């Protein structure tokens, strides 16, 4: 921006200088030539006044001093030089002046003014005043050089002023740009400082007000997630204790499988609450593969959990991990939540057999969830929060799944529309299997 402001100012100053300097240079040249001709004419008139009619009979010719650097001479009607300085034979201006009128012109590189001398209504001679045109040309060039120097000084001043103004205009915008970069890096407390330019101050105030509104909105959302998670933890913990107590006390054998399934469901719900709380935390670090559980256990638990729901609607679920070691560590909590969302989406909106397959891509694992259904419309539309592909959806699941994938440093995308296929990419490390956490 600074260079653009300077460039515009310099171009404007250059145009102004050209529009003023060129006519002024022509005016200076014309004025110098006109002034010199006037000087010559006054010298010739002064000489014509002092010429006596008796000079033709031998009376001495007394002419005034010629102009500086010039010559002054008297010519008789026969075009001969009778006094003063000049060419021995009259030139064209003198011959025209013998006709009775003053003549201005050039002759032999000189500016010439010829004034006739009259007596008894007859022209008895001509006074010729001249000066070298080269001297006048040198004066014109000197004047133009001075004018050019003034123009250069004016342009230099314009550049200095333009650079100063460019700094004054660009500094607040650069400061605002730095604050915007700070905001993109997560520093929502950054605020733009006021400047001396009203328009930029208005933008800064709007920017600060926007940041304040965003900060308040994020704070309320974070507080809501934290409060909701905290309020859910207490009843979930109580429910888990109750179920565990029921299992320890024995009781009806027929209720034991139900209690075990209910206890597993509460533990999954507890993990879901923890993941949602982690995801809502501003600046939460990505979960790495070394913080999770072995892949084999995650797949077996997922298959056991979803085999029943698919069987109840008359559909099959197939899970496989061909060529992938069972002990590869994956972030079990987030991956489990994403797979649960994708399988539930396949159960509700899909058709036919659902398949969960894992592929090894070297530094990442690809989890492919497919079914025999069909997806219409843009792929990105599916992941928009609030958009649902059917009447039974809320439009939150796939959006939450993508956010969880991003928090892992991975990616979730629709890789097939007919049949439906979703692919989750999760970065992993193959150094070894960590100890399982309870």
pLDDT at 40: 92
pLDDT score recorded for residue 237: 66
Helices (H) and strands (E) in the chain, counts: 9, 12
71-75 and 81-84 strand pairing: antiparallel
Spatial distance between the Cα atoms of 40 and 68, rounded to a whole number of angstroms: 10
| pLDDT tens across the length of the chain (438 residues) | 677 777 888 888 888 888 998 999 999 999 999 999 999 999 999 988 888 888 877 778 888 999 888 999 999 998 899 888 989 888 999 999 989 899 999 988 899 999 999 888 889 899 999 999 998 899 999 999 999 999 899 889 988 888 887 777 777 777 777 777 877 777 767 777 777 777 777 887 887 888 788 777 777 776 666 666 656 666 766 676 677 777 677 666 667 777 777 777 777 776 666 666 666 554 444 554 445 788 888 899 899 888 888 998 999 999 998 888 888 888 878 888 899 889 998 998 889 999 999 998 888 899 999 999 888 777 777 887 766 655 555 567 888 888 888 888 889 999 988 889 999 999 986 654 444 333
- Which DSSP letter does residue 255 get? G
Do 420 and 306 lie in a common domain?
A: yes
Q: Is residue 192 part of a domain?
A: no
What is residue 436's predicted lDDT score, i.e. its pLDDT?
Answer: 39
Number of domains in the chain: 3
Q: Would you call the peptide bond into 419 cis, given omega within 30 degrees of 0 as the criterion?
A: yes
Q: Are residues 396 and 345 in the same domain?
A: yes
Residues 351 and 224 in one domain: no
The model's pTM is 0.47
Same domain, 256 and 365: no
Same domain, 28 and 113: yes
Out of 235, 251, 280, pick the residue that ends a domain: 280
Judgement on whether residues 112 and 25 belong to the same structural domain of the protein: yes
> Which residues span the domain enclosing 108?
2-144
26 CB neighbour count, 10 Å cutoff: 11
- Residue 299 near residue 321, CB atoms below 8 Å: yes
Local structure of 106: helix, strand or coil: strand
At residue 407, the pLDDT reads 83
Helix (H, G, I), strand (E, B) or coil at 349: helix
The encoded tokens of residue 131 equal: 């000066």
Q: Could you tell me if 378 and 413 are in contact, meaning their C-beta atoms sit under 8 angstroms apart?
A: no
Three-class SS state of 125: strand
In a domain, 438, yes or no: no
H or E segment at 224? Answer: helix 198-248
Tokens found for residue 397? 């699941």
Provide the edge-to-edge strand list for the sheet that holds 317-320.
317-320, 354-360, 364-370, 420-427, 411-417
- 296 lies in the same domain as 276: no
- Same structural domain for residues 137 and 260? no
Token couple for 236? 């979930």
Q: Is there a single domain that holds both residue 350 and residue 408?
A: yes
Distances (CA, A) of 192 to 170, 175, 204, 217, 218: 14, 7, 6, 20, 20
The answer to the question of residue 97 being in a domain is yes
Residue 395 resides in a domain = yes
Contact (Cβ atoms closer than 8 angstroms) between residue 407 and residue 284: yes
Tokens 């036919």 -> residue: 352
Q: Are residues 85 and 217 in the same domain?
A: no
């Amino acid at each position: 921006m600074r260079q653009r402001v300077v460039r515009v100012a310099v171009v404007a100053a250059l145009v102004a200088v050209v529009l003023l300097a060129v006519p002024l240079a022509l005016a200076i040249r014309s004025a110098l030539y006109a002034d010199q001709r006037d000087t010559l004419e006054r010298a010739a008139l002064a000489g014509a006044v002092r010429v006596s009619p008796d000079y033709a009979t031998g009376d001495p010719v007394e002419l005034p001093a010629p102009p500086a650097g010039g010559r002054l001479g008297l010519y008789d009607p026969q075009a001969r030089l009778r006094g003063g300085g000049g060419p021995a034979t009259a030139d064209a201006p003198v011959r025209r002046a013998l006709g009775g009128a003053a003549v201005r012109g050039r002759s032999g590189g000189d500016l010439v003014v010829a004034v006739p001398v009259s007596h008894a209504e007859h022209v008895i001679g001509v006074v010729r005043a001249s000066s070298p045109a080269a001297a006048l040309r040198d004066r014109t060039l000197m004047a133009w050089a001075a004018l050019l120097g003034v123009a250069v000084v004016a342009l230099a001043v314009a550049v200095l002023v333009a650079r100063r103004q460019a700094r004054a205009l660009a500094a607040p915008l650069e400061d605002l740009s730095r604050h915007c970069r700070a905001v993109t890096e997560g520093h929502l407390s950054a605020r733009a400082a006021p400047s001396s330019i009203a328009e930029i101050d208005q933008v800064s105030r709007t920017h600060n007000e926007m940041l304040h509104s965003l900060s308040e909105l994020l704070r309320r959302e974070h507080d809501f997630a934290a409060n909701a998670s905290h309020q859910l933890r207490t009843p979930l913990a109580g429910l888990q204790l109750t179920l565990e107590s029921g299992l320890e006390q024995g009781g009806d054998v027929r209720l034991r499988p139900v209690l075990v399934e209910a206890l597993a469901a509460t533990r999954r719900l507890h993990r879901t609450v923890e993941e949602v709380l982690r995801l809502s935390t501003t600046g939460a670090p990505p979960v790495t593969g070394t913080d999770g559980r072995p892949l084999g256990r995650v797949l077996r638990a997922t298959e056991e959990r979803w085999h029943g729901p698919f069987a109840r609607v008359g559909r099959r679920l197939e899970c496989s991990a061909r060529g992938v070691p069972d002990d590869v560590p994956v972030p079990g909590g987030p991956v489990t939540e994403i797979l649960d969302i994708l399988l539930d989406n396949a159960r509700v909106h899909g058709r036919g057999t659902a398949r969960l397959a894992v592929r090894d891509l070297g530094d990442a694992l690809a989890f492919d969830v497919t079914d025999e259904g069909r997806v219409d419309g843009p792929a990105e539309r599916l992941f928009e929060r609030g958009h649902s592909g059917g009447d039974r959806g809320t439009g939150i699941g796939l959006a939450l799944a993508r956010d969880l994938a991003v928090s892992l440093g991975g990616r979730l995308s629709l890789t097939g529309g007919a049949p439906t296929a979703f692919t989750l990419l999760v970065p992993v490390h193959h150094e070894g299997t960590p100890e399982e956490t309870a």
